[in-house]
A and B are shown apart, each in its own frame.
Chain A
Amino acid sequence: MGIVEKSRLKSPWILHYDCSSCNGCDIEILACLTPYYDIERFGILSKGNPKHSDVLLVTGGVNHRNKTVLKNLYDQMPAPKVVIAIGACGSTGGIFHNCYNILGGADKIVPVDVYVPGCPPRPEAIIDGVVKALDKLKHLQNGTWKEPETGPIVVETAVGAKPAPAAKYANAAPAPTLNSQPTNKEA
């Protein structure tokens, strides 16, 4: 591993974008910066500027208003970069996924590398997600910035465990898919 590759793993700078989160996940992300978790010991800094950042943290489901903002922020980040979807809403749209104004998770707009499920995920899970993203960054770099060979990673958390469907819903009609047309057309 060359010195540039090593440095890349040692100083991931974070851009945090709140699509339409309830701020639960945002508070957990900010908790990582406190002395209790102290993510700066891994060289992680919260930058607030896409041009300085390597890692994009997305919280909340994407709606028609902020999908362009999210795309813009992603395009403004210089490669190599990774995207982490934080929380149930950021990963799939969560409890809002059937709302007429919600497109779904961040992966509808930008390629997501790591999913951190939970509502909200614990700070430990978020740190774990960033570490997994760095592992992915290691595979991404081989001189050129190719598409990753591996698929997206899902961080395993207690809250993210698959729940068994309740018996009384077993014969219910399937929920509308995430790609179904929204009732209000965007301008």
Chain B
Amino acid sequence: MNFQPSILFSILLSIAAPFIGMLILGFDRKITARMQNRVGPPILQPFYDVVKLFGKSELMVKKAQILFALMFVGTLLLSTVLLCFGGDLLVIFFLISTGMIFYTLGAYSVKSGFSFIGGNRELYQMLAYEPIFMLTVFSVGLITKSFRVDQIFGLEVPLVAIIPLPLVSMMIVFLIKMQKSPFDISTAHTEIISGPMIEYSGGYLALLKIAHWYEIFLVIGIMSLFFVVPGNPVLTVVSMAAAGLAIYFVSIIIDNVTARVHWNTMLRLSAAIGITLIVVNVAIVYIVAYIAGGA
């Protein structure tokens, strides 16, 4: 049986998506500050930052940067709308990848050493997380027999009961996408001064910040799809929101207790742990199905 979210709810969710990401980021900075025994900025601090950046004067290195920043936000906006309307997970995944390619091109389009290093590192990060992300989407597809998000709502049990290990692997993707330690390699603040973003200023930097809000919503949204409770819309909303916030809280703790690793280590970790866990889980699902079918 198919779960049909009302169109009004989908529209409202896709409009609210960046603001949800913004609020989560605000709480992130507050909780991080409290963990370090500081007071921390107000919850709306990311909002103030972006509005201030829009009010700054224009100072562009190259016009191509404007295009790449706009395309980056555009692709992420499109994938957010697709996710809210229950679209195809595989298309959402490819759209996010395309967005990241625009982000990297923006970094490469200017003659700046740190920007180049940041672009390179962004590509290493994609090399690390894209296989995990794609295999997770594939394993969801294997269980639901479709890549569509709304099919997940038609399952008999929550996805996390069948494939919990890809969720653990997705934690690596989450840490990389959220630019959190130990995988804050491309935007390493004290090392290469926010890497790919270094040559952006004013409103275009604000666009990249908004794109990050979309990223937060997208990755948390995709991960909380594992916690859909079929046939119970109220419980589904509660469990998805709780799971998303819990995942983010775990990532804040990891961020605060770890130091940045070399990209080599990141690639090894993601290949050794991330991919293995997914393969093992899918194998177990098939073996159990085979035994159950044979008996």
Contact = CB atoms under 8 A, between A and B. Distances in A.
Interface of A: 3-8, 10-11, 35, 38, 40-43, 47-49, 51-52, 54, 76, 78-80, 145
Interface stretch (B40-48, B166-174, B212-220): B40-48
The SS class assigned to the B binding surface is: loop
B150 interface: no
A48 B14 CA distance: 35
The 4 A-B pairs with the shortest beta carbon distances in the complex, nearest first, are A4-B55, A7-B51, A51-B201, A7-B52
Interface in B171-215: 189-190, 193-194, 197-202, 205
B54 A11 contact: no
A5 B54 CA distance: 11
A51 B49 contact: no
B6 interface: no
Given A52-B205, A78-B59, A43 B49 contact: yes
A38 B33 contact: yes
Which of B56, B58, B194 has its CB near the most chain A CB atoms (within 10 A)?
B56
21 contacts: A4-B52, A4-B55, A7-B47, A7-B51, A8-B52, A10-B42, A10-B52, A11-B45, A38-B33, A38-B40, A40-B29, A41-B33, A41-B39, A43-B45, A48-B193, A52-B201, A76-B59, A78-B59, A79-B57, A80-B56, A145-B57
A41 B59 contact: no
Given A4-B55, A35-B36, A78-B57, A40 B194 contact: no
Interface in B21-72: 29, 33, 36-42, 45, 47-49, 51-52, 54-59
Interface residues of B, number: 32
A99 B235 CA distance: 74
Contacts of A52: 194, 197, 201, 205
Contacts of A10: 42, 45, 48, 52
Contact of A8 (B45, B55, B190, B193): B55
Contacts of B52: 4, 7-8, 10-11, 54
